Structure 1
């Protein structure tokens, strides 16, 4: 079982973000960056299926600057066998990232191509399907669990109001969400071993961006709440405000 897992470096979910002076990016100084949480599900899925098969290889790939090597080391510490950093200048948008990934992956042998369902910084949810389209392989998104048998993948997907089961021929691409694959913690042994595992760095060109960030701004401040009374006696006043001011009744 050979799996490729595409991962991304993102700000920690607990980080307090500030808009940089150019009003187009986030100030990176003092911000902790981590392996995208949805990508952790993908790494764990690849490791679980390699262990179930009894042999195989898990390769982690990331597109970004030199700092993304730290993110790949996290995947290696979890158990990935090797990693590739496709170094680009600046921040590449989704389609450009998909093109870089597809160019690297098309020359590789693999059974599964795994992604997180989305990155928490841009919420795009499209890099996985776009990469699959460029490679000409089938894809399923928002997968919570899957099984492999006889060269085919049976994937369980989250859909609004229900659950869907789809079957794909291999090789195929899956974007993973929370479900059966709870990410493991990197052990001290895994962290030490990650320092010796292969991490190849290659120069890559993302090409022209199809999407441009023009400006970032903070959300408008919320108005202070109002207390109209307490208990049942406050109901008439609340209804009057909802009807005359909020106009929701």
Structure 2
């Protein structure tokens, strides 16, 4: 079974985001970029399945600028076998991403697609679901556990009421939650090996997908600053403020 793992290049989660002065978006100048953390979890799960003999190949695919090749290279150093970069200098919205991924799926023929439940830059949480709809595949989102049983996948999902376990018939799509695993650190030997692993680069327009944005960002603003707290002299005053001022009880 071949596993396809889409990965995205995003602003590193440790970076303090700055909004442009005109409110047109986030300032990306001289900002550290890295792989979306949920995608790291997806790669880790795919590599573990391969190490367990459940998968024969792990293929990474990323959609973005030339620099996204380094994101793929990071995934290759974690154990993936090869990568595909679909070049697009302009941002691509989730529906267009799903359509491009569908084209890659038709070329590669994977039995399982694992991807992060969302990207930390736009938090859309849409690509996995849209791709499943386009392909007509079974899907399980917010996975905290994944087991492979022949042609079937048993997935434990994190839902509002607790945990839900579903059984999917492959091919299938699984989106990862934080508690699925702990991604490994790439060792120096694996980083050196990753430099020799192939990355195929293709232009996005070769797939005939309309990449024109359907959403217009009107304005980007920073969240309001946190207000200073107040001290109370006893529990009675605390309860009073929570009930009469905050309205939480």
TM-score, structure 2 normalization: 0.91
CA distance in 1, matches of 2:124, 2:46: 22
RMSD of equivalent CA atoms: 1.9
Unaligned runs of 5+ in 2: none
Maintained 8 Å contact 1:143/1:155 = yes
Counterpart mapping for 1:151-170 below 5 A:
151-170=151-170
The Cα of 1:203 is off from its aligned counterpart by 0.5
Q: State the secondary structure of the residue aligned to 1:107.
A: helix
Cα distance 1:240–1:67, how it changes in 2: closer, same or farther (>3 A)?
same
Q: How many residues align?
A: 245
The Cα of 1:97 is off from its aligned counterpart by 1.2
Cα distance 1:199–1:138, how it changes in 2: closer, same or farther (>3 A)?
same
Range moving further from structure 2, 82-91 or 171-180:
171-180
Cα distance 1:85–1:227, how it changes in 2: closer, same or farther (>3 A)?
same
The Cα of 1:11 is off from its aligned counterpart by 1.3
CA distance in 1, matches of 2:6, 2:198: 16
Q: State the secondary structure of the residue aligned to 1:106.
A: helix
TM-score, structure 1 normalization: 0.91
Maintained 8 Å contact 2:3/2:55 = no
Equivalent position to 2:216, from 212, 218, 234: 212
CA distance in 2, matches of 1:10, 1:121: 6
Counterpart mapping for 1:122-161 below 5 A:
122-161=122-161
Listed one character per residue, the Cα deviations across residues 26-71 of structure 1 (whole Å, up to 9, x for unaligned) are 1112321111111111101111111111761110001111111111
Unaligned runs of 5+ in 1: none
Cα distance 1:112–1:222, how it changes in 2: closer, same or farther (>3 A)?
same
CA distance in 1, matches of 2:14, 2:158: 26
The Cα of 1:176 is off from its aligned counterpart by 1.1
Range moving further from structure 2, 219-228 or 137-146:
219-228
What is the match of residue 17 of structure 1?
Answer: 17
